[in-house]
Each structure stands twice: as C-alpha cells, then as structure tokens.
Structure 1
Amino acid sequence: MSGTQAADDANDTADVSSFFEGIAWTPVIQEMAELLVLWISCDLCGAALWGLPRVGKSEFARYIEKVALELFGDTMLVIRLHFEGSEQFVKTVPLIRRMLANVDVRALSHRDPDVLRQRFYDEIWSRCTTKTRRILVIVDEVQNVAVGLYGEFSIINAAIRDKEYTPFMLSIGQPELRSTVANVENKLHTMGRMFQEVCEFHGLSLNQLEELLASMEGKDLNFSRRYFPARAEKGWSVIVLVGPIERAVRSVVDLDQKNLDLFMPMAIVRQTLNYLFFFLADEDNADKDVTETEVLQAFARNGFKKQIMAYCKPRLEPAQPKKAAEQ
C-alpha cells in the first residue's frame, strides 16, 4: 500500500480529531516491508527486527497483517502473536494460552500443553485455504518470552512444515533482543529457524519525515485542503512543517556539531504533528504560522525534549576513495 493511498483512505472525513486514523505507512515501514519480502522470497526460515521503544515496530507488524494480500497474494497466511505488557512468559502453559488468545481461541482452561498446542494448530489450519502456500508468524515483543521457551516457536515451525506449508517467523523486540540473539548463537536449531537475519528498526530521519508528510498530503494538496482549506487556498502545504520541526530539533541538539543523525520515533512524530495540526485548525491561529516555538511546546508535552539523545546516532563517515597504489 502506498503512502498516498493510505492518506486518501484516512481522509474520507474531515474530522480533525482523527488526523492519523487509518494511516500506517511510513518510509521506514516501506523499507522494512520490502526487506521482509526479500527474506521470504529467498526462502529464509526466520529473521528478527529490534528497535528502541516507540519507533513503530508493532505498527509495522499490524501493517504487514493489513497488506499481506497485496504484498504476497492469497498464498500467504499471516499469524501475529503479541506479548506486550508487563507479563514475562517463563512457563509453557501461560505462553501457549497467550498464543491462543492472540488467534481468538477462548478455550484456554486446559492444563495440558499438548492439548493447548493442538487447539492453536487447529485454529491455524482452519484459516488456511486451498491457495495457502506460506505461513508468516509474527512474534511481537518477543523479549517478554524467556529464551528457554523459544523452542515453542521451533515447534510451530516444524508443525507448519509437517502440513507442507513454508513457514517464516519474524521476531520483533526491544534492543535487548540483540543480546538474546548473541546468547543463542551456539544453538543452531534456534538460529536457523528464528534469527537468520537480524536488523534494526529505527525511527524516521528528517528526510523521511518530509516523505511521510508528502505521502499524507497526497495529490493537489488533498490533506491540507481537507483540514486547513483557507491555508491551502494560498498554496500552503503540511510539508512545510518539516522546517520548524528541524529547527526545533537543532535548537535542542546541534546535530552537525556533534556529528549525529536523529531518527524520530513514530509515536513522537504522531504526537508532535497532532499538536501542530490542532494549532493550525484553531480559528484563533488563522493568521499564525507554526514556528519552532510551537514544536518545542509539543516536545515538552510529549517528553521528547528529554529523550531526544536516545534517538540520535553517530553519523557514518563517508567512504574515502582509495589511493592508487604507488608504482
């Protein structure tokens, strides 16, 4: 699904309380979706995405569920298992019960893990059609599952293969997932089925923020005309918000002096833009433009001003041309 299409779907109503309703696309999600398609096309068994909190990992998982038909056709079944919350899964039965709840099975009371597993498998097989060839299992917030229980996911993988479907397991988690992967490197069975590739899911760069706003805007200033018609009549576009956002960021941290790049978490992007959109929609601000002052007010409200350094990374040095070997 393209960003423009997502924006058009979200803009069926001009209700200013739902600026982001239905919008799931971001440049980072697009990038990760293309990588996922590549992994699956290459017949990998599994891969992992890790990232800082609030960057959009779970939104990516929901996006894949939503657009699986477009990405993979009707030969792919997607099962999303999510383990968010404070509960830590260290025993088999609670883990399988959560998996059953994830697929809307209500018969959870049995204590025998084999019985519970079979109920889980029965639900998966019931969702397959004669066209199903692959099953993508997304394990979201996997850091909340004890490493000793990863064997349950390998059992799922094996059960899918026994039914002559091709499995792919996508694990998604917080940064501690990296150390988890390092700790199981000597367990070839787990590495081969879950962690053949490990990649970071990051926030949006300032350039990607501009791409996001452009995709929301759509053709002919659609977004601005729907929500801010008086401004759009003068040629104004939401894309210009990148300017004050960047100036606000640089007033908090001098990215160039510190040789850093910022990757804004999607949750902060959404909250900041909503704050600015409501500012723009307020009739009392009809003659006012958004400045870095309003952006900094948004950062103060959503806490990003204090968190910003956590989402900065050292810039990669450009590759230096190799000197020709002396004769």
Structure 2
Amino acid sequence: MSPEIPRPIDPSLHPLVAGNYRIATPAIEAFYELVVRCLRYRIMGALIYGPPRIGKTRAIEYVRLWMARNHPRMTSYHAQCEHKPRHAEGPFFANLLEAVGDPDPNAGSNPSKRMRLSLRIREAAARAGSGTVLLFCDEAQRYNENEYEWLRDVHDALDRQQIRLFTFLVGQQELLAQKTALQIAGKTQIVARLMVEELAFYGIRNAEDVATCLNGYDQTTYPEGSDWSFTRFYLPRSFDAGYRLVSDADTLWNAFENAHHKANLPGRLVIPMESFARAVEIVLKDGELKDAPGFCPESALWSFAVLQCGYVQSRHATGRVLVAAA
C-alpha cells in the first residue's frame, strides 16, 4: 500500500482484511423489507429460505445492523441452530440462552432455563426501552416439531409479559417442506405463530445485482463518517481520478458467466455472496499494487479473481444448482 497517501487507519485494521463487513445485495434489501413489514403489521414469524452458501448468515448480520441503526430501541438476537442427534429440551434452551448472552447457558433444570430465557429477554427489552424483540434462527431447518412448540411457548411466555417476539426462521429449502408438513398435520398454531410470511433468498443473479453490490464498496466508508470508501482505501489515486468499481459490473458478471460455462456447471448462473466478495477483495488487494491516476482493473484481473474466489470449486464440491428467484 502506497506510503505517499496516508490512510486514516492502519491497513491491517480495515474490515476488508478480516472479512467482517457487510455489503447490501438485492436479496438482503428484500429481507430487510420483510422484517419491517412484519413489524408494521404485527406478523410474528416468517421463513427465509434458500440454498446453502449464498449469504443468508451474512444477511442476518446486515439486517440486524440496519435494524440497530434505524430502530435503536429494538433488541435483536442471532441464534445458530445446532445439529443435534437428539432433540432434547435442555440443549434447545441452552442454545437460545447462549444467543441472548446468558453467562452460563447450560446451568439449571429445563424449567429454570425456560424462565431464565424469558428473564434475559425481558431485561434486555427493558434496557432498550422497547417491548419489541427480534430473534433470527439460523439453519432453522434443523429444528423439529418439538422445538417449534418450545419456541411457541417462549412467544406465549413473553406475550404474557407484554413483550412481542418476532421470529425469523432462516435456512435451506427444507424449511418450506417443514411448513407444509406441519399444515398437513394440523399444527396450525405453529404455522400461524412462526411461519406466516415467506421469502426465497437468492444470490447475485445478473449484472444489475452485481452493480448494486459493487456500488456498496464505492459508497461504504471506513472509518464510518469519513470519505474513505472501501474502493478509495485500496485504489486512492484511481478513485480520486474518477474510477468506481460499479463501472466494471458487466465485466465481473461476464467473468463469472465465462467461468460457469467453461466448467460446464448446470443451471443459470447465481453467484453466492461469499464467492462474489472474495473476487472483489482479490481485485482491490491486487489492484492497489498498480494504483495510479487513470488505472482501472483490466478484465484479465477480474477473470483471475473469479478463478481464485472458489465459485467453481464450491459448486463442483456441492453439486448443487443455485436456484434463482424470479
């Protein structure tokens, strides 16, 4: 990184180095709009489903950041549903207690865990000054019917204490099949509480989606409130001369499309967010070595980044077709 242009922070501390940043995609924006709609119309539960590795977990964190910024008095939690050979009540409540920050989630009997979960959520809601709490359950297809019933019990217990718990079940396509099975079995109380709305989550589906995401790198600043966008941090001379990543949207989409067809992958091209972000990071990190007024990454660099980002390798490994939502 050029020493002649001092950066506002040590480059090793930039979020792009650690990968702990979030860029909005059209699917993430749809997810956020769903959450806002559920809050507005008091819809207490929704399903968000899609194939693995297209950015659902990143999306949860982005939506939580957005909610914290736009609705600072609301409390939100991110529970990672665990794979369990035995679906027991104790581990289920310990997992939720861990998500809400309980210092000793495995302690106590099952009834005491239930009570402690309600207490922790109630205390957080009181501190925030709002009776509205959001719970995002990641990999929710791992739940079974009993766990959905216990989750419904949590809703009821909080409701009696004037706390509204909105639950967003995020997971793979099996979630839809679970909803259908519950409806057929007459478990309408679970569906009506936890599974009212549905959203098909998707990856990056076309050059317009690519442009939306690249624009995020051009606009998102770090440190926040500075004029150091992610693009400018790595390509300051090029950026100050007018270059923006968004102008290469077609080039990047074409590079992914070429790699997709060359590898004989089935189905339409849908880019997982993880692969997309890695490709952009490669271009920014390699491009900074050539940064100069008038520089813009050549198409060969974008093609190299796509080959190195893991898209083809992960598709071959999983053998899955990433379904594109309409």
Q: Give the TM-score normalised by the residue count of structure 2.
A: 0.80
Q: Taking structure 1 as reference, are residues 107 and 21 closer, same or farther at Cα in structure 2, changes over 3 Å only?
A: closer
Q: Which residue of 1 aligns with 2:58?
A: 59
Q: Taking structure 1 as reference, are residues 232 and 302 closer, same or farther at Cα in structure 2, changes over 3 Å only?
A: closer
Gaps of 5+ in 1: 1-10, 317-327
Give matches, 1:62-77, under 5 Å.
62-72=61-71, 74=73, 76-77=74-75
Aligned pair count reads: 302
Distance in 1, Cα, partners of 2:37 & 2:85: 32
Q: CA deviation at 1:203?
A: 1.1
Give matches, 1:298-317, under 5 Å.
298-306=305-313, 307=315, 310=320, 312-313=322-323
Could you tell me which of 117, 141, 150 is aligned with 2:114? 117
Deviations 1:19-62 (A, max 9, x none): 35443433322221012111221111211101112222112222
Could you tell me which of 76, 80, 84 is aligned with 2:78? 80
Distance in 2, Cα, partners of 1:141 & 1:312: 17
Query: Would you say the 8 A contact 2:50–2:172 is kept in 1?
Result: yes
Query: Would you say the 8 A contact 1:50–1:199 is kept in 2?
Result: yes
Q: Which residue of 1 aligns with 2:189?
A: 189
Q: CA deviation at 1:107?
A: 2.7
Distance in 1, Cα, partners of 2:84 & 2:284: 36
Distance in 2, Cα, partners of 1:297 & 1:241: 14
> Any idea what SS the aligned residue of 1:282 has?
helix
- Report whether the alignment pairs 1:96 with 2:93: yes
Gaps of 5+ in 2: 1-6, 221-226
Q: Taking structure 1 as reference, are residues 88 and 172 closer, same or farther at Cα in structure 2, changes over 3 Å only?
A: farther
Identity of aligned residues (%): 17
Q: CA deviation at 1:236?
A: 2.0
The one-letter code of the counterpart of 1:134 is: T
Q: Which residue of 1 aligns with 2:134?
A: 136
Q: Which residue of 2 aligns with 1:41?
A: 40
What value does the CA root-mean-square deviation take over the aligned residues? 3.3
Q: Which residue of 1 aligns with 2:26?
A: 27
Q: CA deviation at 1:124?
A: 0.9
Q: CA deviation at 1:261?
A: 5.0
Distance in 2, Cα, partners of 1:42 & 1:56: 27
The one-letter code of the counterpart of 1:215 is: G
Query: Would you say the 8 A contact 1:264–1:311 is kept in 2?
Result: no
Query: Would you say the 8 A contact 1:47–1:170 is kept in 2?
Result: yes
Deviations 1:72-93 (A, max 9, x none): 452x322322225x54561111
Q: Which residue of 2 aligns with 1:250?
A: 257
